Copies of this chain bind each other. A is one copy, B any other.
Amino acid sequence: MKAKRSTRLVDMTRFLMENPNTVVPLTFFAHRYESAKSSISEDLTILRKTFQESGTGILETIPGAAGGSKFIPSIEKDEAVRFIEELQSFLDDNTRMLPGGYVYMNDLLNRPSILRQIGRLIATMYKNKKIDAVLTVATKGIPVAQSVATLLNVPFIIARHDSRITDGSTISVNYVSGSQRRIEKMVLSKRSLPANSNVLIVDDFLRGGGSAAGLCSLINEFDSKVAGISFVAERDYDGKRKISSDQYTSLFKIDTNSDEIKVSQGNFDWKPFDNFSKKGN
């Protein structure tokens, strides 16, 4: 379609948002809109500035023959702080207490608008890592994993405690559940992860870290590497976890030792959010 600037701006925004973390050559847009490369270049400058100012993400320019533009979804610090505070006040609610120090979070982790923001936070934290796939274990971690994977535009794979016929051939590992000191099993479909992948582990809740350690050994069995481990929330935990605190990030810490829920910010670092600010530096 031969397109005017106004049409191009709308359609390019849509296209880049639907295809994040993908290098789109200048010629693709020039051809799509039957426009000169110089006009497309000017359009991209407008997009880059607007994405930056609204804190939506970074529009990176990759130079050279294989170059083009790559949209990297992120969240800027002010919005991230507001969102963390908002979610913290949702979580800080004693009616969420369940027996055994568990916390009810289903109503938050099933809302697309909340999941998108959590995804943007985690994507921003790991934006400098090479990630080929997101891994979680069924069931509660799936929505968060999907949200992160959608923004990174990589597959998300789901390990299970019980293998199903629909998984086909599987590889399994045994691990010690951190919180209950039982031997558990975890399986992953053999075809689901190619060797030499860089894998980000994502889950909803960290207790003893047994599942996360199990996922790490599963990644190892697939001759792949752990690129990071990220949780929505971690619980206060007595004793030694199966993973150490410099291996993972958490958005929230939840203390349920007393009769009240106490929620505070997780162990994540604000540094990745600093590079990217509204001021344009």
Chain A, interface SS category? helix
CB distance B165 to A100 under 8 Å?
A: yes
The A71-117 residues at the B interface (CB cut-off 8 A) are 98-100, 102-107, 110-113, 115-116
CB distance A46 to B111 under 8 Å?
A: no
From A154-162, A218-226, A246-254, the one touching the partner chain is A154-162
Q: How many Å from the CB of A41 to the closest CB on chain B?
A: 14
Render A169-189 as a binary contact track against B, CB cut-off 8 A, 1 for contact. Answer: 000000000000000000001
- Bound CA–CA A188/B30 (angstroms): 51
Q: How many Å from the CB of A167 to the closest CB on chain B?
A: 7
**A168 contacts chain B at the CB level, 8 A cutoff:** yes
CB distance A168 to B104 under 8 Å?
A: yes
Known: A142-B142, A157-B110, A189-B106. A98 touches B168 (CB 8 A): yes
Render A143-167 as a binary contact track against B, CB cut-off 8 A, 1 for contact. Answer: 1001101100111111010001111
CB distance B50 to A149 under 8 Å?
A: no
- Bound CA–CA A1/B278 (angstroms): 11
Residue of B nearest to A19 (CB): B113
Q: How many subunits of this chain does the assembly comprise?
A: 2
**A255 contacts chain B at the CB level, 8 A cutoff:** no
Kindly name the residue among A51, A100, A155 whose own CB sees the greatest number of chain B CB atoms within 10 A.
A155
Residue of B nearest to A138 (CB): B139
CB distance A192 to B106 under 8 Å?
A: yes
CB distance A14 to B54 under 8 Å?
A: yes
Which residues from B are CB-within-8-Å of A164?
A: 139-140
CB distance A46 to B6 under 8 Å?
A: yes
Contact pick for A1, options B9, B53, B111, B158, CB 8 Å? B53
- Bound CA–CA A11/B192 (angstroms): 37
Which residues from B are CB-within-8-Å of A128?
A: none
**A37 contacts chain B at the CB level, 8 A cutoff:** no
**A18 contacts chain B at the CB level, 8 A cutoff:** yes
Q: How many Å from the CB of A189 to the closest CB on chain B?
A: 6
